[in-house]
Structure 1
Amino acid sequence: MLLDLPSSRPRTGTMEELRLSPGDRVIFWDSEASSRAPAQSQMSPVPLPGLTELLKELKPQDRMWFCDGRLSFVVESTAEDSLVATMEKGTIPLKSSNSIFLPDSPSPFAVITAADREVLASMAQAGVAPDWVALSLISSPEDVSDGRREVRQILGDTVRIMAKFETAAAVDAARQIIREADGIMVARGDLGLAIGHLRLPGVQEALVKAARRARKAAVVATQVLEMFAQTGIPQRAELSDLSLVALQRADAVMLGKETVFSSRPIECIRLAQEMLTYETRRFEGRARLSRRSQGRSPLAEK
């Protein structure tokens, strides 16, 4: 069992779906600090619990991304517990529980929050002991060691810690983080936003390889079978992606939206399992054949 802690990154509060167009102005407000949105005409109010803390880092012209960068806003102005932003791009609606990513601002997010401690304590009281706890927004080996100490104080010394790679700082400190953690997760959604999509495939390969070299578990996550989850038709790119994960010899993939926000959770799990099993056996068989034939192509075999 792996417990993926929600992290301190704010998410939009309970709201109606909001469809916007580039150029539309929105007022984000901290619904924990104030029960009512600021009165602003011709602006859509969006509740964002915890925004007040972010305002210490945000400044005009900073960007705010939601939904893995598919929705982008630019900060216009800030106030005590709210800000005005203009939509820069996006074609999907803004919804409840959409998490925020700040590409232009230092990360103000804590690795373990008070809410995380409550989750861990409730599991301990219920007698539920996860095998792994995944820590979000890791940027240094100290984040891992501090997180491990807090988790084990509540759940005991057998819990293993998985460091999620979501930031450029984590990639820069990858060797030390991998040494400190029991395993890693390549969280491709935020990581792709943080380092740029052109770098993402190579960084994924390097992280998985480094984890295997250190004999640590490696998990690949985000956008594994999201189109299949929506349509029920496997996309060739998704199948090729799973094949690549098997070739890189990652230990697992994690399905998120494919199981949480999908009408086909079982089908997604089954397809991922079948594809990874098939490709792993194929690559292992090809390696044995290569050793036996000293480099001859498998296509030449009868």
Structure 2
Amino acid sequence: MQISDEKNTKIVATVGPASSSYENLLELAKVGVNVFRLNFSHGLHEEHQEVINRVCYINEKYGLHIGLLADLQGPKLRVGKIDGEGISLVENDVITFVNEPCVGTREKIYMSYESFPKDVNVGERVLVDDGKLVFEVIETNKKDTVRLKTLFGGTLKSNKGVNLPNTKISLPCLTEKDIADLDYILTQPVNWIALSFVRSSKDLKDLRKRIDAKNHPAKIIAKIEKPEAVERIDKIIKNSNAIMVARGDLGIEVPMERLPLIQKDIVRKCIQRARPVIVATQMMESMITNPSPSRAEITDVANAVLDGADAVMLSGETAVGKHPGKVVEAMTKIILEAEKSYDMVGRRPLPNKNSSTFLSDVVCFNAARTAIDIEAKAILGMTSSGYTAFKISSFRPNCEIIIFSDRMHMLATLNLVWGVRCFYYDKFTTTDETIHDVTEILKLAKRVKPGDVIVNSGSMPLHRRFRTNMLKVTVVE
């Protein structure tokens, strides 16, 4: 099967009714999807299971390594049911939120956050329906009632989401629903688990304990959606395996004019720490209904590529849109064109002398630099833990990064990482024999040809984890 794998920046596509069939998943894989996202805000476990089975079958049948990303819902705050068609509000109207379920009227409206009266303070803003309605807290009894003044009005309808950009909420990051979903996810071959509404590194540690308790190899993506996460971004990056810039809720909770620079700053810091970073939300949203993207969307995707993001993500575009295949095709074209101008010169992070992995980092850095200096066709890495792939990718070399591993799960995990192409290999013997074998595999796959220069990197002995200590230049015979 012919697939599109020329791009370095990866595509994450959300699965939904428009894309969950075997035929649609296969088509999306052909045109450039690297990771499928399962959104646990929607769908039953049985429905997710069908998608997982289909993706695994596609991988096995066609020798692919498409990854699976399970996205936990997190603590969603919503108003309850509203009487009739909704409540029309204008500036300075006063409404009351309560924490006891009721049908909403002008007198009182239920909000699904029991500790809201306790956590909120006078003067803090409350945003409803993706920020379409904005309120200010004018009174709270710290028990069960909060009074709010309308700043920007509109029609308040049933079950609309609530954002609290100024409030330090006390809800746990993992809800009861998340824990139930996680119990299911950890029985599946999922590569990445995304944690929603992360506020501190402690949230990530709680999730890691649950994953480790099941001895599951899944890695954690921290979704940056809260102002607190932006303030603590360095520690969150350090304690996560990857980052998602979730611009939907984040764009509601921080001033809109700050969002572009926040995105660029997070991408830069993730590259410095060798953490894959995904830019997500509304990337090509007009294609939910339209057959082509807007000019602003084209520029948005291209800018994410030029910033150095590992991946760009599609949500409703592929989950419920009319043209999921066309969306991915268009995104692939934009990525390939932008990558022609992508240049990391002067932006490659230098190894940190104070790091416990400094020596290995220097080897990976020099693999990338050597590949540039000698115009190598590819960098070949052998890995079990994934360390070599993550680190070499962070230096953004201008050639292919081809990774061999004896762990199938790791190969699919690495399909999220910038520039990485993966092959299975389980016959690691001596270093020279292994380099010869994997080079022959690449010749058969028509990835390299006689005369090509290759930079080889890995561990000696080959099964030593987290210690990349070998660098060797070879010429394909």
Give the TM-score of the pair, scaled to structure 2.
0.51
How far 1:96 sits from its partner (Å)?
4.8
- SS at the partner of 1:199? helix
Stretch moving more, 173-182 or 188-197: 188-197
Of 240, 256, 281, the match for 1:197: 256
Quick check: which has more Rg, 1 or 2? 2
Q: Select the structure with the greater relative contact order (CA < 8 A; seq sep ≥ 6).
A: 2
Counterpart amino acid of 1:20?
S
| Matched residue, 2:167 | 105
Of 127, 133, 140, the match for 2:200: 140
Partners in 2 of 1:196 and 1:274 — Cα distance?
32
Counterpart amino acid of 1:144?
L
Determine if the alignment matches structure 1 residue 178 to structure 2 residue 241.
no
User: Is residue 198–residue 229 contact of structure 2 (8 Å, CA) maintained in 1?
Assistant: yes
Partners in 2 of 1:11 and 1:260 — Cα distance?
22
Determine if the alignment matches structure 1 residue 8 to structure 2 residue 8.
no
| Matched residue, 2:22 | none
- SS at the partner of 1:283? coil
Paired residues, number: 276
Partners in 1 of 2:281 and 2:122 — Cα distance?
30
How far 1:7 sits from its partner (Å)?
1.1
Partners in 2 of 1:157 and 1:271 — Cα distance?
35
| Matched residue, 1:268 | 327
| Matched residue, 1:283 | 341
User: Is residue 287–residue 321 contact of structure 2 (8 Å, CA) maintained in 1?
Assistant: no
User: C-alpha deviations, 1:107-130, integer Å up to 9, x for none?
Assistant: 323221222101112334xx4232
Change (3 A) 1:178 1:104: closer
Partners in 2 of 1:206 and 1:104 — Cα distance?
22
Partners in 2 of 1:94 and 1:254 — Cα distance?
30
Structure 1: gaps of 5 or more residues: 292-302
Change (3 A) 1:76 1:140: closer
Structure 2: gaps of 5 or more residues: 1-67, 346-372, 374-477
User: C-alpha deviations, 1:48-76, integer Å up to 9, x for none?
Assistant: 32x22222112344321134323212234
Counterpart amino acid of 1:196?
P
Partners in 1 of 2:253 and 2:286 — Cα distance?
23
Counterpart amino acid of 1:55?
P
User: Is residue 20–residue 87 contact of structure 1 (8 Å, CA) maintained in 2?
Assistant: no
Determine if the alignment matches structure 1 residue 131 to structure 2 residue 188.
no
Of 19, 22, 28, the match for 2:90: 22
User: Is residue 165–residue 226 contact of structure 2 (8 Å, CA) maintained in 1?
Assistant: no
User: Is residue 287–residue 293 contact of structure 2 (8 Å, CA) maintained in 1?
Assistant: yes
Change (3 A) 1:75 1:247: same
- SS at the partner of 2:250? helix
User: Is residue 221–residue 254 contact of structure 1 (8 Å, CA) maintained in 2?
Assistant: yes
| Matched residue, 2:152 | 89
Of 108, 116, 126, the match for 1:64: 126
Partners in 2 of 1:234 and 1:206 — Cα distance?
26
Change (3 A) 1:67 1:258: farther
Partners in 2 of 1:211 and 1:138 — Cα distance?
16
- Supply the RMSD in Å over aligned alpha carbons: 3.0
Change (3 A) 1:119 1:58: same
Divergent runs of 4+, >6 A? none
Partners in 1 of 2:95 and 2:275 — Cα distance?
44
Partners in 1 of 2:291 and 2:159 — Cα distance?
25
